[in-house]
Amino acid sequence: MPPSVTPPFPDDEHNPYAPPRSDLRPDLEPYPAELRPMEFSINDVLSRSWEIYKDRMGICIGVVIGVQAMSVVAQMGVQAAQAVAPMARNPEAVAAVFGILGPIALMVFQFWLSVGQGIVLLNVGLGRDADFGDVFRGGPYLFRIVVASLLFGLVLVLLILLASIPGAILLATQGRNSPAGLITLGLGLTASVVVAVILSLRFTQYFYMIIDRDCGIIESLRLSYELTRGKAGLIFVIYLLTSVINLGGLLACGIGLVFTLPFGMLMMAVTFLALTGQATADPYAKGEPMADLEPL
């Protein structure tokens, strides 16, 4: 069962990511007392992730590839059920059930697996014991993560729709080929996409906030937004780097993804640990936190 009281972030004077003991930045009042944005670099995340990955490659690959495999099998099962629906005694009713409930059940199942995967990778990043069975322990967080994800997606969709209204009005009143309408619509959509990307980067950490901090739905989004203040560019580069790494794995006949995909997922977990000032695992000490070492 998740703890009823959110534990504070670690306060270790030897931890390079630990929060300062004194309030050096009084302008950050919106943060809880235990939460302060940490200073770190791309090299910190990349090098720490690599050292951890080398030491615990087996569990990382096993979990990420295993989750991907189960997700694919579940998707194939839903597609197979939809394909045989016409052969049922009441094909229209059966097809409607599988057509509506099938994708919903698949989405929930995939969310459940992703939560379990996040639990494992977070434990690996922290130097804790982790095994494949942890993949199936995401139940306590599933509802909050699903709702937070849907709420986040709804905000982005509404943002794009609102930005397209002025251009749509001009096109409706002046004609579909109106230059002013087309330009206004294009500028509105471009601006909304830019804002949506920035918001996406600011809200990226709600997933781990729920898993690691046991936050509520709105609280996870709010804390992620506050935690990533001034870090959106850095997070963007880290995520872009994981995409480049996975592209390299894809170009290696796709086989390289077996190694690059788990590494990229681990980098995301380590990014959260860096943002929250938590000590990552020390692979040289076999699981002991790297609280007394300098950044790699």
Residue with more model confidence, 248 or 293: 248
Give the model's pLDDT for residue 9.
Answer: 52
Give the model's pLDDT for residue 88.
Answer: 72
C-alpha distances out from residue 46 to 14, 79, 83, 93, Å:
21, 39, 44, 52
Give the model's pLDDT for residue 7.
Answer: 52
The pLDDT tens digits of the residues spanning 196-245 come to 999 999 999 999 999 999 999 999 999 999 989 889 999 999 999 999 99
Residue type, 43: N
The pLDDT tens digits of the residues spanning 135-179 come to 999 999 999 999 999 999 999 999 999 999 998 898 888 888 888
Mean pLDDT of the chain: 83
Is the pLDDT score of 182 beyond 80?
yes
Counting residues of the chain whose pLDDT is more than 90, the rounded percentage is: 59
> Residue 118: which of 271, 257, 276 has the closest Cα?
271
Domain ranges of the chain: 140-229
Contact 259, 18 (CB under 8 A): no
Query: Buried b / exposed e across 127-148, counting CB within 10 Å, b at 16+?
Result: beebeeebbeebeebbebbbeb
Count the neighbouring beta carbons within 10 Å of the beta carbon of residue 158.
Answer: 11
Give the model's pLDDT for residue 21.
Answer: 43
Is the pLDDT score of 63 beyond 90?
yes
The pLDDT tens digits of the residues spanning 231-258 come to 999 999 999 999 999 999 999 888 999 9
Is the pLDDT score of 24 beyond 50?
no
Is the pLDDT score of 28 beyond 60?
no
Tell me 254's DSSP state: T
Counting residues of the chain whose pLDDT is more than 70, the rounded percentage is: 82
Number of residues in the chain = 296
Give the model's pLDDT for residue 20.
Answer: 43
Is the pLDDT score of 293 beyond 50?
no
280-288: average pLDDT = 57
